[in-house]
Amino acid sequence: MALADKPKDAHSIAESQLSKIIRVVFMIAFNAGALWFIYQAYSKGFYQIAILLGIIVVFFDVIFSLKKGYPFRWMAFGLAFMLVFVIYPIFFTLYIDFTNYGDGHLLTKEQALVQIENATYLPATGKSYDWTAFKSDNGEYALWLTDRSTGETFLAKPDEEIQATKPGDPGVGEADAKGVPQSIEGYTRLNTLLAAADKQLPNIKFGLAGEEGLSTVQVRSPNEAAELQIRYLYDKEADTLTDQETGRVYYDKEGIFTSTDGRTVQPGFRANIGWKNFINFFTSPALRGPIVRILIWNFIFPLISVVSTFALGVSIAIMYNEKDFPLKKLIRTLLLIPYTIPSVITILIWRGMLNSEFGVINRILNAVIGTAPRWTTEPIWAQIAVLIVNLWLGFPYMMLITSGALQSIPTDMYEAATIDGANSWQKFRSITLPLLLVAVGPLLIASYVFNFNNFGLIYLFIGGGPAIVGASTQAGHTDILISYIYKLAFESGGRGVQYGLASAISVVLFILVGAMTLFQYRFTNMWEEVSENA
């Protein structure tokens, strides 16, 4: 009996004048804004984003103009946000794992070519000028140029088109004996000695480059300035760069233009390298070894965490389950405290408490038993420390969900078991535990998945350390895949960020986590429920 089932549904109720106006105004505003953004994205070379936004604009326009689209208007923004920030990044991850995106290859090829084509050189011969320098009060330079062959005069400033100018023009003073103006408005003329000694001057490119027929001029010697030449010519057909100065030819080799004798042209760009990120895993032991270790730990760590927190949580729930247990409410409230503090904060507190040298835990251990483990430098102790902290963080949650589920177990089952002569342990084994597992099973899987990606704990507590010896990347003994990805992409420790490799590992993580979550859906019949509710 949903609204739209009725013959007199939403659409047959005449849309009020006001809501029609609101709808039209919204559509105009949305289209204007989105099209402007798409234009910006397109003109700056972000074609993927332009297409993505284009899809959203078409979707919005269709559903807001057709009557049939009415239900979708309710969810338009929700779906748009999911498309841009969830679905697109998944596909983008799938794309960049086949590239060498990372340090040295950060730009797209188009962006890199724009930079490469901006490069110039000062030819040994070519158009040359006599020059006189001017400097403004705020340190900007201008050059007065006289073409040696034609005698034409120009005024050149950085990043502005070079203008043919004559002495006496507006803003330009009268000529002196050499034909150079005495003054230029806003600038002071530098005398020849001062100009020759100026260290900045030879590095400044005067004029505007890039457009057809325009070029920049640079000071070459105290009495000569020369026109700069575009250094590289890009041949689109052959996909090669030719150095105009040396004649050397560069070929696109995995995202960097490289000559046959091994020279390269910077910057590099993102290039498709096929399965190389994955193949590296099999061919490089220094890469594979640590990743296999991380993967194994990634499965063990959440398993022990879930089992230990569940065990403690259930024990507490059962121990203080009786209605008339003294101080029950107070005990529960105090035991809940670890759950109520943002975990970033408590993880950092534990980091201080488990500090090997100064931490309170080790000070106590040293005082009582005379020795204490080095939590941050010994791999096995680091792993144990992570598990202890996670037990502390996680048991109150398990206590909450299991004590809720305990209430729902009918008491007559226990009475029947008592009559049959079962002891407490048998009752727990054959009644409590199975029924609890059915009730909270999906939450346990969710908890496993959560800990499988528990970046906060691993990174904030110990940074994934201690480092694995001999690893070619920043890999540590407590690292899990997500923290390893983070380090590859954002904290390379001077080894260069590797977005491509990080994305390849993300894809592996996608598959693992996806499989686990789908398993959880099966467990809860969530999938079937959707179909039934239709």
Comparing CB distances to other proteins, the nearer of 107 and 225 is 107
- Measured from the Cβ of residue 412, the count of other Cβ atoms closer than 10 Å reads 8
Candidates 109, 100, 60, 63; CA nearest to 83 is 60
For residue 143, what are its two tokens?
């050059």
Query: If binding is defined by CB under 8 A, does position 82 make contact with other proteins?
Result: yes
DSSP state of 5: G
- Give the β-pairing of 240-243 and 249-252: antiparallel
Binding mask 40-59 for other proteins (x = CB under 8 A): xx--x-x--x----------
Task: Identify the bridge partners of residue 257 per DSSP, sorted by sequence position.
Answer: 252, 265
Looking at residues 396 to 455 of the shown chain, list those that interact with other proteins (rule: CB under 8 A): 396-397, 400-401, 404-405, 442-443, 446-447, 450, 453, 455
Half-sphere exposure of residue 114: CA atoms within 13 angstroms, side-chain side: 6
Looking at residues 340 to 399 of the shown chain, list those that interact with other proteins (rule: CB under 8 A): 340-346, 348-353, 355, 357-360, 392, 396-397
Query: If binding is defined by CB under 8 A, does position 460 make contact with other proteins?
Result: yes
From residue 379, alpha-carbon distances to 167, 383, 478 in Å are 78, 6, 7
Which range, of 231-239, 247-255, 303-311, 331-339, touches other proteins by CB under 8 A? Answer: 331-339
Which range, of 135-143, 154-162, 272-280, 337-345, touches other proteins by CB under 8 A? Answer: 337-345
Comparing CB distances to other proteins, the nearer of 406 and 413 is 406
Could you give the angle at the alpha carbon of 222 between the alpha carbons of 221 and 225, nearest 5°?
55
- Measured from the Cβ of residue 14, the count of other Cβ atoms closer than 10 Å reads 7
Q: Which of 72, 121, 234, 428 forms a contact with other proteins (CB under 8 A)?
A: 72
CB of 306 to other proteins, least distance (A): 11
Q: Which of 4, 177, 368, 369 forms a contact with other proteins (CB under 8 A)?
A: 4
Q: Are the beta carbons of 398 and 379 closer than 8 angstroms?
A: no
Q: Which of 10, 32, 292, 300 forms a contact with other proteins (CB under 8 A)?
A: 10
Which range, of 117-125, 135-143, 332-340, 366-374, touches other proteins by CB under 8 A? Answer: 332-340
Q: Which of 337, 416, 433, 438 forms a contact with other proteins (CB under 8 A)?
A: 337
CA torsion, ordered 432, 433, 437, 440, to nearest 10 deg: 60
Query: If binding is defined by CB under 8 A, does position 1 make contact with other proteins?
Result: yes
Sorted by sequence, the CB contacts under 8 Å of residue 437 that are 6+ apart come out as 444
> Distance between CA atoms of 116 and 118, rounded to whole angstroms?
5
Which range, of 86-94, 230-238, 255-263, 271-279, touches other proteins by CB under 8 A? Answer: 86-94
Q: Are the beta carbons of 457 and 347 closer than 8 angstroms?
A: yes
For residue 262, is it left (φ>0), alpha (ψ between -120 and 50) or beta? Answer: left
Query: If binding is defined by CB under 8 A, does position 534 make contact with other proteins?
Result: yes
Q: Which of 149, 191, 371, 531 forms a contact with other proteins (CB under 8 A)?
A: 531
Query: If binding is defined by CB under 8 A, does position 85 make contact with other proteins?
Result: yes
Query: If binding is defined by CB under 8 A, does position 325 make contact with other proteins?
Result: yes
For residue 340, what are its two tokens?
């109520």
Q: Which of 267, 338, 373, 379 forms a contact with other proteins (CB under 8 A)?
A: 338
Query: If binding is defined by CB under 8 A, does position 316 make contact with other proteins?
Result: yes
Comparing CB distances to other proteins, the nearer of 156 and 401 is 401
How many of the chain's residues bind other proteins (CB under 8 A)? 109
CA torsion, ordered 81, 83, 85, 89, to nearest 10 deg: 180
Amino acid at 242: T
Comparing CB distances to other proteins, the nearer of 74 and 425 is 74
Q: Which of 93, 183, 240, 308 forms a contact with other proteins (CB under 8 A)?
A: 93
Q: Are the beta carbons of 215 and 228 closer than 8 angstroms?
A: yes
Looking at residues 469 to 508 of the shown chain, list those that interact with other proteins (rule: CB under 8 A): 482, 485-486, 489-490, 499, 502-503, 506
